[in-house]
Structure 1
């Protein structure tokens, strides 16, 4: 894609871990974690990205740090410590669908939250954007385990609440029930983060767990009426649906031969955020998204961003593990 690129980096806050994948073909180990995957996807698409996370000074941690560095992701100071690196073991069925077990320990160093100003919505006289570890950012993304697993979840919430005026926020619940309480316990925290966000991406599986018996489309539409400018519901092979206060848009899935689905949702998220930034709809162009969703019919830049996200997810499904596409690969992708 070409076009407007707003100033400032993207700050991604959340877990990075080692994905241990057991499949009919054997065992593989990949760097993973939904926020880390999203950070990598954004960097491969040409964004300046900083990841605030928790990694051990151990073998898995070294593998993950090297992987992220090769992809262009910078770690926020305080992200590496003496604790051990978290792991997630994914077992794939014959159709490439994954189920997970986790050994996750989540917190953030206080160093990471230094410099995040209180989010008041009032002019401060400072340049638009936030600072993390001395680096300016124009958009903040978080989600998954990091946003709900204590004790780190409280620090994540504080960072979202403390995002300065002009900094936009995206959120992907990417729920992991094995690490969480009941849906009734988790629902208020998820809804609180949804209300603080400008863009939310959520899967039908997430909403089926969070709201048993409810229609996922109705839930996503309700979220869009009470907070975010844009809510995107992903439905795997059935495509995706985007909701905003005044309308919605259904998108078909890009047909591909699926190797596995690991990281597909994260690739969708990074593709969406990158394209929205490029279209001037997030970051310094935060009011662009408000304008783009002010009518029943979506703006062209929004449709382009959604299609871009869907293609990024589809391409990721054609290869093993969480391996989001580069800008060049996505441009050349012809399913």
Structure 2
């Protein structure tokens, strides 16, 4: 039986606008995470959708070149989702999004067993993809490490009470939750990220990973709180940084055996020293991604 990561969410053609003009590159939170896992040596299966167009062909070629397998036939849109990313002087990206959130039903071979379920971003919150995500969480929660990457944008998901309730329900079904400080501020205005992380723990998450951009990252669990600084690099842009960081954290947990049945108990039992190692590896991986243009996560050979 082949143990794999099943990643569910959108793939997007990123139109990156910078000082040297526009360029179109493969992207999307789920696609970035799947590629990051594959480059770190994991078998990654992606449940996603795109259109039968040039952008869809670009995404399909990119995933195949990186060894990512498809968990279902992905051509479910008339037009592939697109994000126009304008890069600011500090490398941060501002997005104008046209996103489809339909997900097909997974069709995994009988000899493939997910020991990680990774999902998040827009498809987890916007129907009809959200219904597929909910069914995946219900199916795999007791059999895999369930990792939820929170991503909210006013223009796509909204940030009101209904969205907060959706996020909270998904958190309650997840073991590891990652959110940026910006996501948490959008969901709970005026609440600091540490307080918001504790709220997520109260909902049922075993651990919460908060990314803080230039301030590094933090890990919150019931008896553990660890903070790490960012890796000192020259930032080209931040596209895919959070996706890489989360995927690298999952890879590090995989090496520790924190996957499959019983992942929740093992995740809760991690000591501060082990968590610091996990975060250190994850931030180093993200540091590589921000040091080069687009969502271009590192290979395992680049991380030593």
Q: Smaller-chain TM-score range?
A: over 0.9
Which runs of no fewer than 5 residues in structure 2 stay unpaired?
none
- Please tell me whether residue 312 in structure 1 is matched to residue 258 in structure 2: no
TM-score w.r.t. the length of structure 1 is 0.86
- Partner residue of 1:41 out of 36, 56, 75: 36
Q: Following the alignment from structure 2 to structure 1, what is the Cα–Cα distance between the partners of residues 144 and 164?
A: 25
- Partner residue of 1:147 out of 94, 101, 124: 124
- Partner residue of 2:187 out of 177, 190, 210: 210
State the superposition RMSD in angstroms: 1.6
> What is the DSSP-based 3-state SS (H/G/I as helix, E as strand, rest coil) of the residue aligned with 2:86?
strand
What does 1:183-194 align with in structure 2 at a 5 Å threshold?
A: 183-194=160-171
Which has the larger displacement, 151-160 or 76-85? 76-85
C-alpha deviations, 1:214-256, integer Å up to 9, x for none? Answer: 1111111221243111101110110111000113111111111
Q: Following the alignment from structure 2 to structure 1, what is the Cα–Cα distance between the partners of residues 198 and 188?
A: 14
* 8 A contact 1:279–1:301 mirrored in 2: no
Aligned to 1:290: 268
> What is the DSSP-based 3-state SS (H/G/I as helix, E as strand, rest coil) of the residue aligned with 2:17?
strand
| Cα distance, 1:308–1:7 mapped onto 2, change above 3 Å | farther
Aligned to 1:84: 79
Q: 1:182 offset after TM fit, Å? A: 3.5
Q: Following the alignment from structure 2 to structure 1, what is the Cα–Cα distance between the partners of residues 237 and 102?
A: 30
> What is the DSSP-based 3-state SS (H/G/I as helix, E as strand, rest coil) of the residue aligned with 2:253?
helix
Count residues in correspondence: 302
- Partner residue of 2:246 out of 265, 269, 284: 269
Aligned to 2:295: 322
Q: Following the alignment from structure 2 to structure 1, what is the Cα–Cα distance between the partners of residues 136 and 12?
A: 21
Q: Following the alignment from structure 2 to structure 1, what is the Cα–Cα distance between the partners of residues 181 and 255?
A: 27
Q: 1:284 offset after TM fit, Å? A: 4.5
TM-score w.r.t. the length of structure 2 is 0.95
* 8 A contact 1:276–1:302 mirrored in 2: no
Q: 1:313 offset after TM fit, Å? A: 0.7
Which runs of no fewer than 5 residues in structure 1 stay unpaired?
1-5, 115-131
C-alpha deviations, 1:172-218, integer Å up to 9, x for none? Answer: 11222211233322100001111111101110000111111111111
Aligned to 1:221: 198
Q: 1:152 offset after TM fit, Å? A: 1.3
- Please tell me whether residue 160 in structure 1 is matched to residue 133 in structure 2: no
Aligned to 2:208: 231
Q: Following the alignment from structure 2 to structure 1, what is the Cα–Cα distance between the partners of residues 29 and 76?
A: 20
| Cα distance, 1:106–1:215 mapped onto 2, change above 3 Å | same
Aligned to 1:57: 52
Q: Following the alignment from structure 1 to structure 2, what is the Cα–Cα distance between the partners of residues 88 and 156?
A: 22
- Please tell me whether residue 279 in structure 1 is matched to residue 262 in structure 2: no
* 8 A contact 2:152–2:159 mirrored in 1: no
Q: 1:103 offset after TM fit, Å? A: 1.4
> After the TM superposition, which segments of 4 or more aligned residues of structure 1 sit over 6 Å from their partners?
none
| Cα distance, 1:175–1:250 mapped onto 2, change above 3 Å | same
What does 1:113-152 align with in structure 2 at a 5 Å threshold?
A: 132-134=108-110, 135-152=112-129
